[in-house]
């Protein structure tokens, strides 16, 4: 844990980014209480900037305050997750379309290397590593597409998506053995500047997650 005791400039923002990263990396799990005193001690700060960060994360719907109990990482219902994925389908479809139009050769190489470690794997069982690759893939496409505007919005939606917790899948809705093929096809379409196909494949990819979610409703 980074100790922030001697860093005063933009302290609230730094604490906010740290806690948000802990939620994204599942160091703080959905439905669990956030240990304020422990975190403040590890960061070398008072609880004031930590509470400020938690209030901002509450505004982003990533945490929730429970009266007389403290702050908890928010755990979303299936209905809420379906709504989130419906929004992701539209925004990330747009991201894929735009990325296909503007992607550079260096960005294409970066995009295509994300899932290379899994090309020769018959059964993907390291869900934590795959979940990180999944987030990196979706966020890189947003970065390429918008350079700024969609990225912050989609980052929050991607973190929220982790809050629907399959016990052994690190927040992944579908099994990696299925989604790896989706990701490779999306990457190929974007790198080949096929914007129409890129959007179509991305939207189908996210609709499949919605279908999986609705099976349990």
Answer whether residue 3 shows pLDDT above 60: no
pTM (two decimals): 0.80
Whether residue 201 has pLDDT greater than 70: yes
What is the tens place of the pLDDT at every residue in 86-105?
999 999 999 999 999 999 99
SS3 assignment, position 108? helix
At residue 34, φ and ψ (nearest 5 deg) are -85, 120
Specify the higher pLDDT residue, 8 or 170.
170
Rounded distance between C-alpha atoms, residue 217 and residue 207, angstroms: 15
Domains of the chain: 11-73 (1.10.10.10), 78-214 (1.20.120.530)
Task: For residue 71, give Cα distances in angstroms to 48, 87, 208.
Answer: 14, 26, 33
For 106-143, the pLDDT digits (tens) are: 999 999 999 999 999 999 999 889 988 998 999 999 99
């Amino acid at each position: 844990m980074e100790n922030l005791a001697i860093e005063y400039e933009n302290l609230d923002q730094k604490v906010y980014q740290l806690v948000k990263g802990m939620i994204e990396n599942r160091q703080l799990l959905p439905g669990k209480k956030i240990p304020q005193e422990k975190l403040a001690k590890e960061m070398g700060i008072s609880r004031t900037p930590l509470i400020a960060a938690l209030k901002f994360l509450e505004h982003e719907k990533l945490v929730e305050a429970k009266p007389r109990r403290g702050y908890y990482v928010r755990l979303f219902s299936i209905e809420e997750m379906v709504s989130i994925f419906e929004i992701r389908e539209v925004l990330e479809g747009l991201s894929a379309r735009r990325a296909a139009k503007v992607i550079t050769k260096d960005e294409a190489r970066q995009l295509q290397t994300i899932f290379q470690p899994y090309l020769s794997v018959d059964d993907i069982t390291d869900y934590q590593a795959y979940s990180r690759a999944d987030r990196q893939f979706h966020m890189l496409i947003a970065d390429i597409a918008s350079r700024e505007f969609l990225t912050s919005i989609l980052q929050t939606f991607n973190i929220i998506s982790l809050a629907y917790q399959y016990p052994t899948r690190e927040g992944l809705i579908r099994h990696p053995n299925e989604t790896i093929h989706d990701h490779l096809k999306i990457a190929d379409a974007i790198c080949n500047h096929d914007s129409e196909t890129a959007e179509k494949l991305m939207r189908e990819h996210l609709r499949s997650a919605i279908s999986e979610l609705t099976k349990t409703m």
